[in-house]
Amino acid sequence: MEYHDFTEEKTDSQALSAFYRSFENERSPVKILLKIFQGNYGKLVLSVFFYLLQASPVIILPIVTADIINIATEPEQYSLTRLIVEAVIMALVILQNVFTTFLSSKYRSLAIRRVELGLRAAMTRKLQQLSLTFHKEMKSGKLQSKIMRDVENIEGLATNLSLNLVSVAYYLISAIIITLIRSRIVFFFFLLTVPIAVLIVAVFHRRLARQNADFRHQVENTSAQVIEMIDLVPITKAHALEDTALSRLNRQLFRQAGSGFALDKLNAIFGSVSWVAFHLFQLGCLTFTGVLAYHKLIPVGDIVLYQSYFSSIVGQVAAVIGLLPIISRGFESVRSVGDIMWAMDVEDNRNKEKITDVRGDYEFRNVTFEYHDDPHRVLNGLSLKIHAGETIALVGESGSGKSTVLNMIIGFYRPTTGQVLMDGKDMTAIDMHSYRSHLATVPQTSVLFAGTIRENITYGMDYVTEEQLQEAIRIANLKEVIEKLPNGLETSVGEHGDKLSGGQKQRIAIARAVIRDARVILFDEATSALDTVSEKLIQDSIEKLSKNRTTFIVAHRLSTIRNADKIAVIKDGICSEFGTYEELMAKKGEFYRFKTLQS
């Protein structure tokens, strides 16, 4: 299906940056809500205009009804033609509703769906710009709920505000004006509803808000725990802990049910009290207007007129009261979306040198580093020089900082003090985005997306020839694997690549790295989770791949790094030994100790 109103040009970068600006320097959810609708106000105004027409029959019908009753009860005073004319006009007013309902919904939806789309597009784009640290700290489940649930709540808020507030204002104002014209006494009677509504809201508002917040909190906790439980299923099953996992979740389910029940009870009391109050009042109005008609102060038909308005006012006031929870939930969601939009942890590539060519020389000069939330020094004056085209193996105990060094080469982290130079340039002065297109990484566990093997290998490459692809498959030792699969390259991997073994996934990741033809390749424990046969295959690929490229390898099995040009031992935050395999073995130091421990 084609959706012409929602093409990508219409959500261009200009519109996206407008969404960013809506959140910039703005903390008030109401103002943000007004700002994110900028550019769509025309549609909202059109929608309101058509809504006024759409709803007009409900306002005009009581007048016509009253008139017809008055004409019927006073035949000597009015002619029958007048009755017919009123009926025909009324029919026309009713008929136009077909078109105006459609048009008002169409424009409202167009505005709201575009804001929804733009907000999600802006959020996901922002997520791509935020640093790894941000992503590590914010759970993916939370982010997902922000992008899906909170945007939906904002959409609900916008729909309700634009619909209900307009309609409430419309009914109230027209009822008041018409009543004022027809009978001033009844108008003052109507005014009495205001203090009654205020009184009821005042009694219940605080309690309702508190109970709503509590319930929302419980719903969020439940969904967090369900996701946690699902993630833990393999471990739970393996340890036969199903009952423990279930009882943990059950406690939360019971809490949510309890909170929901309390909310329902409160809503029920609130609903019945307001229903009874308003209906008693309506009965009072009926009696009052009945007495007025009895004394011929108003015509009989007007009793129906006032009753209609009164019940629509009561309905509207009830609707506004019912809106309270939706409004508070919606504004809460604006704040929740702000958690992403306000996050400052963004890489700044403005005014930095764009990199078109990477040779692959690196130098660490006296680098110290600590993670921002942790005063413990991970690197403590590390110096290291790597020449283009070399294969460097990083060796060290777990937690010694090897991954940290690789992440600095990727540019995810910056030295706290000291410098990292790439081709002689300070890494802090270069445009990371342009630089990283020359890198390829193979992490410990590779992430495949739901798609075919071909798509996974060529991920992010616009154009790849069949020869390049075959070459990548050859280097990654994937040929046999692919030949055995029912659809070859077109076989789709499971959502997380679960249909392939760890070794096969790693080789797909290697093929992905090969096809990028990167100048610098980083393997961070790419073989650590694999059996020796798979490791051998991958080791072989690494060797083919690392020719003429700067290659960093972190591996625990020393056999994997036997062929590296240089080995760097990372210990106590510095590079404690550096040299070829033979040199380090001869030195009989730290590396020698590792080696003898393993053999």
Element (H, E) at 382: strand 377-386
- Stretch of 86-94, 197-205, 399-407, 501-509 contacting ligand ADP, by CB under 6 A: 399-407
Q: How far apart are CA 249 and CA 251, in angstroms?
A: 5
Element (H, E) at 207: helix 193-238
For residues 483, 488, 489, 494, the Cα torsion angle rounded to the nearest 10 degrees is: -110
Share of the chain residues as helix, strand and coil, in percent rounded to the nearest 5: 65, 10, 25
Which CB atom, from 365 or from 556, has the smaller least distance to Mg ion? 556
Instruction: Dump the DSSP string for 429-489.
Output: GB-HHHHHTTEEEE-SS----SEEHHHHHTTT-S---HHHHHHHHHHTT-HHHHHHSTTGG
Each as own residue / partner, the long-range contacts of residues 373-380 (CB below 8 Å, 24 or more positions apart, any chain) are 377/573, 378/404, 378/573, 379/404, 379/405, 379/415, 379/573, 379/574, 380/572, 380/573, 380/574
- Stretch of 121-129, 220-228, 401-409, 448-456 contacting ligand ADP, by CB under 6 A: 401-409
| Binding residue count for ligand ADP, defined by CB under 6 A | 12
Dihedral of alpha carbons 67, 73, 79, 84, sign: positive
Which residues, 522 to 561, sit near ligand ADP by CB under 6 A?
A: none
Angle at 199 between CA 194 and CA 204, to 5 degrees: 130
408 binding ligand ADP? (CB under 6 A): no
Which CB atom, from 166 or from 570, has the smaller least distance to ligand ADP? 570
Which CB atom, from 403 or from 541, has the smaller least distance to Mg ion? 403
400 binding ligand ADP? (CB under 6 A): yes
396 binding partner (options Mg ion, ligand ADP, none; Cβ < 5 to 8 Å by kind): ligand ADP
If we measure between CA atoms, which residue out of 391, 388, 389, 394 comes closest to residue 408?
394
3 state DSSP class of 25: coil
Burial tier of 181 (Cβ tally within 10 Å: 0-12, 13-18, 19+): exposed
Which CB atom, from 311 or from 380, has the smaller least distance to ligand ADP? 380
441 binding ligand ADP? (CB under 6 A): no
Q: How many residues does the chain have?
A: 599
Shortest separation between residue 194's beta carbon and ligand ADP, angstroms: 57
- Stretch of 33-41, 223-231, 392-400, 533-541 contacting ligand ADP, by CB under 6 A: 392-400
Q: How far apart are CA 438 and CA 82, in angstroms?
A: 84
Which CB atom, from 137 or from 531, has the smaller least distance to ligand ADP? 137
| Binding residue count for Mg ion, defined by CB under 5 A | 1
For 211, the token pair is 């109970």
Shortest separation between residue 404's beta carbon and ligand ADP, angstroms: 3
Which CB atom, from 301 or from 396, has the smaller least distance to ligand ADP? 396
371 binding partner (options ligand ADP, Mg ion, none; Cβ < 5 to 8 Å by kind): ligand ADP
Which CB atom, from 59 or from 378, has the smaller least distance to Mg ion? 378
241: Cβ contacts below 8 Å, ≥ 6 apart? 235
Which residues, 361 to 390, sit near ligand ADP by CB under 6 A?
A: 371, 374, 378
Which residues, 374 to 413, sit near Mg ion by CB under 5 A?
A: 403
Contact of 362 with 420, CB cutoff 8 Å: yes
484 binding ligand ADP? (CB under 6 A): no
Classify the phi-psi angles of 25: left when phi > 0, otherwise alpha if psi is within -120 to 50, otherwise beta.
left
424 binding partner (options ligand ADP, Mg ion, none; Cβ < 5 to 8 Å by kind): none
484 binding partner (options ligand ADP, Mg ion, none; Cβ < 5 to 8 Å by kind): none
Which one among 312, 404, 446, 560 touches ligand ADP, defined by CB under 6 A? 404
325 binding ligand ADP? (CB under 6 A): no
350 binding ligand ADP? (CB under 6 A): no
Which residues, 130 to 159, sit near ligand ADP by CB under 6 A?
A: 136
Shortest separation between residue 127's beta carbon and ligand ADP, angstroms: 18
Shortest separation between residue 444's beta carbon and Mg ion, angstroms: 8
DSSP state of 150: I
Which one among 118, 330, 360, 401 touches ligand ADP, defined by CB under 6 A? 401
For 108, the token pair is 């409202």
Which CB atom, from 145 or from 404, has the smaller least distance to ligand ADP? 404
φ, ψ dihedrals at 363, nearest 5°: -140, 125
Which one among 114, 216, 402, 505 touches ligand ADP, defined by CB under 6 A? 402
What does the binding site for ligand ADP look like in residue numbers (CB under 6 A)?
Answer: 136, 371, 374, 378, 396, 398-404
